[in-house]
Amino acid sequence: MKLNKVILSGVVALSCVSASAQEADKTVNVFTPHWYAQAQIGGQYTLGEIGFGKLLSPNVQVGIGYNFNKVVGARFSLNTWQSKAGQKVVSDGASTTYKWKWKYIAPMVDATFNLTNLFCEYNPDRLVEVGVFGGIGANIAWGNDEAADAQAAIKAGPGKNLDQMPLENLWDGTKTRFVARVGANVDFRVSDRVKLGVELSANTLSDKYNSKKAGNPDWYFNALVGVKVALGETHTTKVIPAPKPVEKIIERIIEKPAPAPAPKVESKVVEENFRRDIFFPIGNSNIAKSQSTKIAEIVEYMKENPDAKITLTGYADKGTGSAAFNDKIAARRAQTVYNTLAAKGVAKSRMIKESKGSRVQPFEENDMNRVTICIAK
């Protein structure tokens, strides 16, 4: 019997990506350039020849800055209070220490660099950040009367036997000198806009600053603690929509005898397992608002299919944290989804929770493996 070939073509909409990409939008934190204000208090050590404690003085600093991106920024600040110096004079076997202090204010312009954001993925919820800075400015000093008094006392006392007075660069009035500095800072997150911080800096300027002649630059070092307040939004949240499904053509070839009527082709619909992927931020096991729709869909499916059971499998991304930490956070993510579904009426006897840590990576993209995959059947 002669056979005729009848080609039946049908178009079936199939996604070319994984089930998670079908259903899940990716949430990304985007840095927002912003201004900030800063106030700090601490102490200063002026490098000198007498005891460390005798050269400590109070110090304050206020500033305003702008972060151009997640790494680079600029800051204008006013650093002020006082500096100290001293001189030990030995004459006829006796040693006498002379001390003096003066006031100053130093307007500075710094370039700032966030090292944490430079070497790590940007995360606005990170608790600790480390940075460095460097800048230049002017040191405007005045009130050096105590140095003049010390010079007079040395001349009237042990200085009679000295060939040269120790305060060769004694100055009076108001003096403005160029100053340069480098430093480092550590900031601790309090909220999206508020950070507490510690800052250390080394400042150098001309040899005449402390009234003594040493043939090398003078130095003072500041250690400050303070608060930094952002004057606007520091970041925004961007949702990247899932790729659209791609249509795929499926062709079926059915052979039938020529004289016989064409047989009916029954299309059998195979029901796929119900699946939703709940994504989490880095280092977090709390369900974000963006995932609440998926939770509602799971609850609705379980109500409509009373015989169905659901498996909740927690994962963590391999690119962040140790294996032990990832095992714990993956388990917490599965437990969070389990508790949320139970609170919304899904019987615990119908749920199975598992954790695979970072040992298994269901997705090629690292960040998408911070997930609990929920499969019901």
Cα–Cα–Cα angle for 129, 60, 38, nearest 5°? 40
> From CA 112, how far away is CA 134, in angstroms rounded?
7
Q: Are 372 and 310 in contact (CB under 8 A)?
A: no
Q: Are 336 and 279 in contact (CB under 8 A)?
A: no
The encoded tokens of residue 194 equal 């508020």
pLDDT tens by residue, 274-305: 999 999 999 899 999 999 999 999 999 999 99
Average pLDDT over residues 2-15: 38
Q: What is the mean pLDDT of the chain?
A: 87
Q: Are 297 and 278 in contact (CB under 8 A)?
A: no
pLDDT tens by residue, 54-108: 999 999 999 999 999 999 999 999 999 999 999 888 777 778 899 999 999 999 9
> From CA 143, how far away is CA 98, in angstroms rounded?
17
Q: Are 308 and 272 in contact (CB under 8 A)?
A: no
Query: What pLDDT score was predicted for residue 281?
Result: 92
Q: 49-58, 83-92, 356-365: which has the minimum mean pLDDT?
A: 83-92
Q: Are 166 and 143 in contact (CB under 8 A)?
A: no
DSSP 231: S
Residue 298 host element (H or E): helix 292-304
pLDDT tens by residue, 184-242: 999 999 999 999 999 999 999 999 999 998 889 999 999 999 999 999 999 998 888 87
Residue with tokens 């985007």: 30
Is the pLDDT at 159 greater than 90? The verdict is no
> From CA 250, how far away is CA 159, in angstroms rounded?
105
> From CA 131, how far away is CA 124, in angstroms rounded?
15
Query: What pLDDT score was predicted for residue 7?
Result: 38
Is the pLDDT at 16 greater than 60? The verdict is no
> From CA 141, how far away is CA 178, in angstroms rounded?
11
Query: What pLDDT score was predicted for residue 253?
Result: 59
Q: Are 107 and 78 in contact (CB under 8 A)?
A: yes
What are the C-alpha distances in Å from 22 to residues 15, 56, 174, 239, 377? Answer: 7, 64, 71, 14, 18
Interior/surface letters 268-293, b for 16+ CB within 10 angstroms, e for the rest: eeeeeebbbbbbbbbbebebeeebee
* pLDDT-based confidence at residue 255 (cuts at 50, 70, 90): low
- Domains and their CATH numbers in the chain: 29-236 (2.40.160.20), 273-377 (3.30.1330.60)
The burial class, CB within 10 Å (0-12 / 13-18 / 19+), for 85 is: buried
DSSP 261: P
Give Cβ neighbours of residue 105 (< 8 Å, ≥ 6 apart).
78, 79, 80, 140
Give Cβ neighbours of residue 97 (< 8 Å, ≥ 6 apart).
50, 54, 86, 87, 88, 89
> Of all residues in the chain, what percent are helix, strand and coil, respectively (each to 5)?
20, 45, 35
Interior/surface letters 215-246, b for 16+ CB within 10 angstroms, e for the rest: eeebbbbbbbebebebeeebbeeeeeeeeeee
Residue 343 host element (H or E): helix 323-343
